[in-house]
Amino acid sequence: MANACYVGIDTSNYTTSLAVVTETGEVIANLKTPLAVKEGGRGLRQSDAVFSHVKNLPQMMPLLSNIISGYQVKAIGVSVRPRDAEGSYMPCFLTGEVAAESLAAGLRVPIHRFSHQSGHLMAALYSSGATEALVGHSFGAFHVSGGTTEMLLVHPNGTDFTVELLGGSADLHAGQAIDRIGVAMGLSFPCGPALERLALTNTKKIPKPRISVREGICNLSGLENLALQLYRETSDPALVAAYVLRFLSDTLGKMSEWLRERHENLPILFSGGVMSNRIIAHELCDRLGNVYFAEPAFSADNAAGIALLCRARTIELA
């Protein structure tokens, strides 16, 4: 009999993602296709995101078919909502659910549905090596991307997570700020990787960021104004990039300290596209200790966490 595997599908507002996990919990495929954004654009409307997924999925499915051809697919996992909260909904996730329904019907296997956020948490646990250390124990977590900036208290419940929202951004998300500033400096959306490369070339002293954090809530709209003012004054994109990343690392560090004042010695897991930035990760590691970061491929949008959750639930239900 062929070895078993589990498929994950995630259709976020930024990336079409497919993944395959083996019976032993090894990720053997982590396929991604970014959604196309017009030059100078700062994101996509939901209707455009849905259309992009509709174009991407038929091109990616043959790759998935080749990968699973030597395996027995036991179940399909899919993200169907941004987070596990009342009213959490985005149309782009419907495209993944439709694809999962079609694939499951053809293979005659069950579907397990999860939130996009739970997928991020599981992928970060897997990639950071924290699965054994944190699963079964409560931990703090940050989900930081273009679509969310949230500080969480996470309680694993066997095959998923129970999540309490403790704080986050009152205005812009971190990824939004990065993209707005990057596009204003002529970078292509999404701007995170290019901004990180620019920051690594900076040789000047970074101005001290004036961050705004109170009771676990941050404000990031000021970052856009301050960074663009610095760009107008200096015409130095490398310095501005370094300033933006320092501002975000200081903000997340201050929020983490607030979290630990209330939950002493709590380990903290960082996930989401913004947390694939190695500069921010390095500064937070130095400042906080007992923190975990996923590798970039598992921190940005991906379906690996969904496939891993699908495997866990299938095994529990067997």
Task: Give the tens place of pLDDT for each residue, 89-126.
Answer: 999 999 999 999 999 999 999 999 999 999 999 999 99
Please report which helix (H) or strand (E) contains residue 131, including its range.
helix 131-134
CA distance between the termini of the chain:
18
Return the pLDDT at 1. Answer: 58
Answer whether 3-135+299-317 and 166-296 agree in fold. Answer: yes
One-letter amino acid identity for 202? N
Domain boundaries, the chain: 3-135+299-317, 166-296
166-296 fold: Nucleotidyltransferase; domain 5 (3.30.420)
Asked if the 3-135+299-317 domain carries CATH number 3.30.420.40, the reply is yes
Q: Average pLDDT, stretch 222-227? A: 96
What mean pLDDT comes out for the span 70-81?
97
Q: Quick one: pLDDT at residue 157?
A: 85
Per residue in 170-222, pLDDT (tens digit) is: 999 999 999 999 999 999 999 999 999 999 999 999 999 999 999 999 999 99
pTM above 0.85, yes or no: yes
Q: Name the residue with higher pLDDT: 318 or 78.
A: 78
Burial 278-298 (b: 16+ CB within 10 A, else e): ebbbebbeeebeebbbbebeb
User: What is the tens place of the pLDDT at every residue in 17-69?
Assistant: 999 999 999 999 999 999 988 877 777 889 999 999 999 999 999 999 999 99
